[in-house]
Amino acid sequence: MRVSTYNKKIPLLVISGPTASGKSRWALELAQDYDLEILSADSRQVYRQMDIGTAKVTREERACVPHHLIDLVDPDQPFSVADFVDLAHPLIEEIHGRGRLPCVVGGTGLYIQALVGGLADVPTGDETLRRELHLKEQQEGAGTLHRLLGDVDPEAAERIHPRNLVRIVRALEVYRLSGRPLSQLTREHRFSERRYNALSMAPRLERSLLYERIDQRVVEMFRMGLLDEVQRLLEQYDPDLKAMKTLGYRETIDYLHGHLSYEEMISLIQTHTRQYAKRQLTWLRKDPEMFWVDSCNESGTVKKYIDDLIQR
């Protein structure tokens, strides 16, 4: 099915969902019925050489369906949500111009929210304030800033992991500079910039099944060679890099450095991934425009949604 290029706004299919919920597989299946190209909205898949631990689609799958926004930077290079948006907007226009349906697939909610709703108008960074906040965390102990964020912006504190100091500091920085919570500014801005006719869908899974799939995926990643992947990365990059401290990599590094047994490493990655999936679900359920569907049993409904999107 070809996509009309005469819509006032570009149609955009968004497939989101927690990790291991089958987003990528679902998009590939839809590509059998729709002429689409996929844009990854995954904050870790932008890094080269980090393949197994980020669950990138295979090169064979990429050869069947065009994929974009994967393997953009090295692990020691910065990449932000603003970089993602700057790259994604022209790609979406190009895909639409080719008569195809742009399909965003990923679980990084902040990336998708910024792409669909625009970036909130928040204060620029203040280096002095950032140093002050980091010093407070060092002097008063780990978790100090996250507790402080919970007092001034509980919604942001719920979304941000207690160890994600970069995002915690940024949220506190915005509050201190603007006098308003970052979550409020983002929410108010969400519907102010609508450049796409977006249809957002997420696979609906029982929590027990999702957790079972997560546990199986972790085991499969090590069968595929995640240990070797991390060892190669350590030969080139500092283990303290932001990219190297992400889920699956930090636990594997701890194992390689002798801080965990193999069984402890597997168990920790499974636990941390389940916790991450729970936070993703919390984020997604706050989206009033999200369609939760069974990608198998409701295929007819899904196709009706997509057909309506294309024909708007």
**Residue 218 belongs to domain with CATH number:** 1.10.287.890
Residues with Cβ within 8 Å of 21's Cβ and at least 6 positions away in sequence, in order, are: 107, 202, 203, 205, 210, 213, 277
Hey, is 257 helix, strand or coil?
A: coil
Buried b vs exposed e over 110-131: b needs ≥16 C-beta within 10 Å?
Answer: bbbbbbbbbbbebbeeeeeeee
Q: How many domains does the chain have?
A: 3
pLDDT tens-digit series, residues 14-29? 999 999 999 999 999 9
Residue 5: predicted pLDDT: 40
d(CA 30, CA 112): 19
Are 110 and 198 part of one and the same domain? Answer: yes
Residue 5 lies in a domain: no
Are 197 and 274 part of one and the same domain? Answer: no
Residue 256 lies in a domain: yes
Are 199 and 60 part of one and the same domain? Answer: yes
Residue 2: predicted pLDDT: 41
Are 197 and 224 part of one and the same domain? Answer: no
Residue 284 lies in a domain: no
Residue 252 lies in a domain: yes
pTM above 0.85, yes or no: no
Are 64 and 89 part of one and the same domain? Answer: yes
**Residue 145 belongs to domain with CATH number:** 1.10.20.140
Pull the structure tokens for residue 53: 């631990």
pLDDT tens-digit series, residues 86-116? 999 999 999 999 999 999 999 999 899 889 9
Contact between 178 and 270 (Cβ < 8 Å): no
**Continuous H helices in 153-206:** 154-159, 165-178, 182-189
Residue 4: predicted pLDDT: 39
**What is the domain range of residue 149?**
127-186
Residue 185: predicted pLDDT: 78
Are 296 and 248 part of one and the same domain? Answer: no
CB atoms near residue 154 (< 10 Å)? 12
Contact between 27 and 103 (Cβ < 8 Å): yes
CB atoms near residue 13 (< 10 Å)? 24
Are 228 and 266 part of one and the same domain? Answer: yes
Residue 3 lies in a domain: no
pLDDT tens-digit series, residues 119-164? 666 676 677 898 899 899 999 999 999 999 999 999 889 888 888 8
Are 115 and 181 part of one and the same domain? Answer: no
CB atoms near residue 7 (< 10 Å)? 15
Pairing of strands 101-105, 36-40: parallel
Residue 26: predicted pLDDT: 93
Q: What is the average per-residue pLDDT within 194-199?
A: 88
Element (DSSP H or E) covering residue 296:
none
Are 180 and 41 part of one and the same domain? Answer: no
Q: One-letter amino acid identity for 211? A: Y
Are 262 and 169 part of one and the same domain? Answer: no
pLDDT tens-digit series, residues 223-239? 999 999 999 999 999 99
**Residue 43 belongs to domain with CATH number:** 3.40.50.300
Are 64 and 197 part of one and the same domain? Answer: yes
Residue 133 lies in a domain: yes
Are 198 and 221 part of one and the same domain? Answer: no
Residue 1 lies in a domain: no
Residue 41 lies in a domain: yes
d(CA 22, CA 106): 10
